[in-house]
Structure 1
Amino acid sequence: MKKILLLAICLIGISATDILAQENETIFKSSGVRRSGGYAAISNKFTKINGSYANMPGIYGGWFINRRFMLGLGFAATTNHIPVPLQDQQFPARKMTYQYGQAGLMTEYVVASTKWVHFNFNLLTGTGFTMQYDRREVDDWDFDFDDHDGEDPKFFFLMEPGVQVEFNVLKWMRFSPGVSYRQAFGAKGNGLTDSDLSNITYNLTLKFGKF
């Protein structure tokens, strides 16, 4: 009798385990997340601002869901001299330059992520800013900045959709050259308008993480 009871308990336990496993699988699938990872990207963008060449390194990254969709944040800013026309300078200086930066929500949709070469479509939605400062020569940097430096940044809404060709170099690294279009909305001040700040952008990007 004890053996029969023990056998019955085992069978009930196995059946209950199977039911729970099935329920867990159903709940897991209903969430839509079957596989997740994440990656970080370093990128360098080449574009024009107010008609002048602008070099813009940046970083972005986030949560990579089902080998298709990345949800994260992105940041980028200019590093080179972008001259300010004399009539738009906020104060007289020998080498007035524009500083441009952007930050916001970064999303990517990857097509056929496991293929050694594939495409992805991305979108940055967030905030851009501009400011003017005196870009002095290296031997002029005495770290005694005057009150004009870094004053009066101007902020505006920004969207930048793009597309990349992506190469799976290693399991944890990808090379993704691409192109995007930066569109500013409501830019004002510093002598710049939406059209001065909106332009096509080319980029070279390396991605590292769990794909």
Structure 2
Amino acid sequence: MDMGNVMKWITASALCLSLAAGLSGIASAQEAQTLISGNVTHGGFGGPEIKFGTVAGSPGVWVGGRGGWIINATPNHAISIGGGGYGLVSDHLAGIQPAGSENLYALSGYGGFILEYTNRSYRLAHITVSSLIGAGAVLLRDKEYETVNEDENDPFFVFEPSLSIELNVTHFFRIAAGAGYRFTNGISDFGYSDSDFSAFTGTLTFKFGKF
């Protein structure tokens, strides 16, 4: 190989390496942009939750669970992002029944994204404000034959804000009791409407985690 070509190749390679190193230095000097910056702290929790309300005017009980990721908590303020899901465990005769029978019962569940704000969690008792936004469905259960036709369901949108008083039991365990309102939209089958599932709710929550 001609020595002149070799020198040209070496020179070009050196220039490319220098340019790459320079660009890398510039990129490393610029910190990546993020939604949450600074010294980010993390926590989290999970646990069972019981909800009390009404279904078509009769008392109803929903059982489920929720969890959340706590971001940058301070003694005065904390925000958590998470989700939850709940199922109706109380018996409710469906709004429509076959002639001469009362075997059909309502079966329902819902869940979604939960955003929660906690105020002054260092206090023994403190306040939390949360909102759930998600979806659910109403189905029918034949109590006599213990069957559920999952192909026939009535989906709905749900929005549920609530206010709770939370108690610090230990450093890793909290209990919260609260009240809210469940708004539903889209229910129109099986003899039900939105007004049958939209109702004031009471909640009892058990949280285990790092707060």
**What's the counterpart of residue 81 of structure 1?**
91
Superposition deviation, residue 89 in structure 1: 2.8
1:36 aligns with 2:46: no
SS in 2 for 1:109: strand
Superposition deviation, residue 53 in structure 1: 1.4
Q: Which runs of 4+ in 1 moved over 3 A?
A: 27-30, 90-94, 148-151
Q: 1:80–1:32: structure 2 CA closer, same or farther, 3 Å change rule?
A: farther
SS in 2 for 1:53: strand
Kindly report the root-mean-square deviation, in angstroms, between the aligned alpha carbons of the 2 structures: 2.7
Contact 1:173 1:209 in 2 (8 A): yes
Paired residues for 1:12-161 under 5 Å: 31=37, 34-67=40-73, 68-85=78-95, 88-89=96-97, 93-136=101-144, 145=147, 149-161=149-161
Contact 1:109 1:122 in 2 (8 A): yes
Q: 1:76–1:30: structure 2 CA closer, same or farther, 3 Å change rule?
A: closer
**What's the counterpart of residue 198 of structure 1?**
198
* TM-score of the aligned structures, taking structure 1 as reference length: 0.76
Q: Unpaired runs of 5+ in structure 2?
A: 1-28
CA distance in structure 2 between the partners assigned to 1:168 and 1:133 by the alignment: 40
CA distance in structure 2 between the partners assigned to 1:49 and 1:117 by the alignment: 31
Contact 1:81 1:135 in 2 (8 A): no
CA distance in structure 2 between the partners assigned to 1:29 and 1:149 by the alignment: 44
SS in 2 for 1:196: helix
Instruction: For 1:38, give the aligned amino acid.
Output: G
Contact 1:46 1:55 in 2 (8 A): yes
Superposition deviation, residue 31 in structure 1: 1.3
Instruction: For 1:74, give the aligned amino acid.
Output: G
Superposition deviation, residue 91 in structure 1: 7.9
**Deviation per CA, 1:102-158, whole angstroms, max 9, x where unpaired?**
11101111011121110000111000210111123xxx66xxx5xx64441110111
Q: 1:30–1:157: structure 2 CA closer, same or farther, 3 Å change rule?
A: closer
CA distance in structure 2 between the partners assigned to 1:29 and 1:133 by the alignment: 46
**What's the counterpart of residue 5 of structure 2?**
none
Contact 1:161 1:181 in 2 (8 A): yes
Q: Unpaired runs of 5+ in structure 1?
A: 1-22
Instruction: For 1:45, give the aligned amino acid.
Output: K
Contact 1:28 1:34 in 2 (8 A): no
Contact 2:139 2:149 in 1 (8 A): no
CA distance in structure 2 between the partners assigned to 1:191 and 1:33 by the alignment: 54
Contact 2:93 2:102 in 1 (8 A): no
Contact 1:123 1:160 in 2 (8 A): yes
Contact 1:90 1:190 in 2 (8 A): no
Contact 1:132 1:151 in 2 (8 A): no
Contact 1:75 1:102 in 2 (8 A): yes
Instruction: For 2:59, give the aligned amino acid.
Output: Y
Contact 1:90 1:132 in 2 (8 A): no
CA distance in structure 2 between the partners assigned to 1:33 and 1:188 by the alignment: 49
